[in-house]
Amino acid sequence: MEILFWLLPIPLFFLFGLRLPLLTEIAILALFALSLDLILGYAGIVSLGHAAFFGLGAYTAGLLAVHGWGEPITGLLAAGAVATAAGFVSSFLVLRGSDLTRLMVTLAISMMLLEAANRLAWLTGGADGLYGVTMWPIFGIFEFDLYGHTAYWYSVIVLFISFVALRAIVNSPFGLALRGVKGNPLRMRAIGAPVNRHLVKAFTIGAGFAGIAGGLLAQATQFVSLDVLAFHRSAEALLVLVIGGSGAVYGGILGAAAFRVLQEWLSGITPQYWQFWLGAGLIVLVLFARGGLIGLWRALVRRLHRTRDEEAR
């Protein structure tokens, strides 16, 4: 099942050869959502400003390439490293308060960065965006081509590697501890768990992967705009998790695919009003299908098992 899932990019490549940029975007959005899922779905830290780290990663990778270092892999690692450092520092601000304070502080941090990127136009290109991002071939072999073939495979592979790493984390004792912190922090303290240290780590790691996602976007599209730091980008990641299901590693990927495909389709019918249906869908999901696609899938599997059990009897 899982192997089949990860082989999907191959037929998709041949079926949708002309829509590759869309598929690339889905992979990047999925990675961004996965990074938020660690923070939100597993550790239970609500964030309205996850784009801060995405944006930092994007500008890091973009600026490196603009200023003469177009090597993709190290650029991506640098993007991740900068975002990780920023995540670590800001985690101490974010983790102090209640849910509401966390929402506010994360939102404020991303707004501050957006404002800063806007002001530092000499560095970031400001509202015009950062042009001149030129990438070297990956491993010196694979050129980023006009059709986006390389960008596609590059993004899919980075997504896969990150996915494997993130899944290892959530399936480890540390992942269990995060579920504990989310489920009952009072009890976690009573068993002597360093609750805050767990949360700092989760936030830092999540920020790092968001940075990689941002770096990936900068490299794949060879462009960075202020948009990478905007509120709607943070909201998008939340939506993806609501659609796909949070606290479940495949949720982010399914959600990202559903989200972008719906977006293409709806804005194809009524260009501006995709937002309207997005809002409506969000309300319906929150009220009636809180588990998202993954939740529906699990309910289905459970029902199948039950009927099979009954037949066996």
Is-contact 273 51, C-beta < 8 A?
Answer: no
| Tokens standing for residue 212 | 């990689």
- In 173-219, beta strands by DSSP E: none
> Which residues contact residue 13 at a Cβ distance below 8 angstroms, ignoring those fewer than 6 apart?
20, 23, 149, 152, 153
Whole-angstrom Cα distance, residue 45 to residue 181?
10
**Alpha-carbon distances, residue 180 vs 47, 119, 291 (angstroms):** 19, 42, 19
Confirm or reject binding of residue 269 to other proteins (CB under 8 A): no
86/102 Cα distance (integer angstroms): 16
Which of residues 8 and 164 has its CB atom nearest to other proteins in the complex? 164
User: Quick check: 123 binds other proteins (CB under 8 A)?
Assistant: no
- Contact with other proteins (CB under 8 A) among 12, 22, 193, 289: 193
Among residues 194, 261, 303, 306, the one that binds other proteins under rule CB under 8 A: 194
Given 12, 77, 235, 262, the residue binding other proteins (CB under 8 A): 235
Binding mask 130-169 for other proteins (x = CB under 8 A): --------------------------------------xx
SS3 helix, strand, coil % of the chain, rounded to 5? Answer: 80, 0, 20
Closer to other proteins by CB, 136 or 174: give it: 174
Count of all residues that appear for the chain in the document: 313
Two structure tokens written together for 213: 């996602």
Residue from 64, 156, 242, 254 touching other proteins (CB under 8 A): that is 242
Among 12, 85, 93, 262, binds other proteins (CB under 8 A): 93
Tokens of 22: 């869309």
Residue 302 as a binder of other proteins (CB under 8 A): the answer is: no
Stretch that binds other proteins, among 50-58, 64-72, 141-149, 185-193 (CB under 8 A): 185-193
Contact between 122 and 217 under an 8 Å Cβ cutoff? The reply is no
Using CB under 8 A as the criterion, which residues of the chain lie in contact with other proteins when the complex forms? 40, 46, 48, 93, 96-101, 103-105, 107-109, 111-112, 115-116, 119, 168-169, 171-177, 179-180, 183-184, 186-195, 197-198, 201, 231, 235, 238-239, 242, 272-276, 278-283, 285-287, 290
